[in-house]
Amino acid sequence: MKFVVSSKTLSSHLQAIGRVILSKNSLVILDNFLFEVKDGLLVLTASDGETTLISTLELVDNQGNGRFSIKSKKILEALKDIPEQPLTFEVNDETLEMTITYMNGKYNLYAQDAEAFPLPIAMGEATTLTLPAEKLLKAIDYTLFASSVGSIHAAMNGIYFDITTDGLTIVATDGHKLVRFRDFTNKAQDMNTSFILPRKPAQMLKNICTKDSGAVVVAFDGKNATFTIDGVKMICRLIESRFPKYNAVIPTNNPYTLSVDRMGLLGALRRVLVFASESDTLVKVQLNNNEITLSGQDLGFSTSAEEHLNCSYNGNKMEIGFKGSFLLEMLNNLPGGEITIELADATRPGLLIPNEQKEDEDLLMLLMPMILKD
């Protein structure tokens, strides 16, 4: 088998799918890329056993078809500094001895048998959904940070896609914070359906998805999902668990609201957190007239900080505690300038909402309060 491929094209495709490969794999073969040459196309595959990335590119020339695997680190390092030029691969189908020839030299190595490489997950009867790449990327950017890492509640270790006739809702929560992003332009035709995408595949989508990408075709059954975009297909296992009833925990009666500059609040919070306790990062939020006061302290080191900001607030005076590190994450991931914070009392969640949103979108972030120390 012999084929010719662009060096830069091959390198960029391998780098894109190579992010899924773990540093330590349960199967040695998963340290490899799978190469498959078929009728003028090169299909590249990388997997960690749960998530598989497949990329297809056109060959400059090829003679014969075949499959082999090759160590991912070796081929990535070999191609990293080669400038754009044709690469010629010659593979002995029987011995798997391989030569890669380029303008100023060549590599000699042995490929590995492709038969040991695990096949992609077979999909059952699937539901299909097409999303604009920009919308999917935005939804993951907003929600991924709020999902849990290693929670005993499996559903919280991913992002929930809730597709109804009213629109698409994407939610993530770890039990302390929750983010809900609604897109009213993408609706189910005649039935409601849902799935939970694990954190790692969601992060993979962020890596391969760009604002300039086209549509993303999503297909899913009860156990697996595929995402196809710009010639790259991701196949992954879904989290088979029941997601919490997220709408039930979002308070609807919030008599106290304030509007504040997001960047101003973010800066003040960063400064106060320097002096707050590292163990719980508790920050006290005091509201009175048109002023918000942030304060934090660490009794063990006798440090404290307090900062005042102007805001638009005309409710009753109140105090509420939040985990400062969580609040910081939310302010970093909220878009725009002015935000609205809705509150009921010191024992119920606070809602953070950007003041400016598109007509067909709705973003909301929820943060549970902490008990204030006397």
142-166 confidence digits (pLDDT tens): 999 999 998 899 999 999 999 988 8
Q: Confidence class of residue 36 from pLDDT cuts 50, 70 and 90?
A: very high
Tokens of 142: 């907003």
SS3 (DSSP) at 116? helix
Distance CA 121, CA 371 (A): 47
Residue 218, judged by CB atoms within 10 A of its CB (0-12, 13-18, 19+), counts as buried
Task: Encode pLDDT of 89-105 as tens digits.
Answer: 999 989 999 999 999 89
71 CB-side CA count, 13 A: 9
Residue 185 has pLDDT above 90, yes or no: no
pLDDT tens, residue by residue, 162-181? 998 888 999 999 999 999 99
In the predicted structure, residue 200 carries a pLDDT above the cut 90: yes
Q: Is the pLDDT of residue 48 over 70?
A: yes
For the question of whether the overall pTM of this predicted structure is more than 0.85, the answer is yes
For residue 373, count other CB atoms closer than 10 A to its CB. Answer: 11
**Adjacent-strand bridge partners of 253:** none
DSSP state of 304: E
- Contact of 100 with 77, CB cutoff 8 Å: no
In whole angstroms, what is the distance from residue 146 CA to residue 159 CA?
A: 9
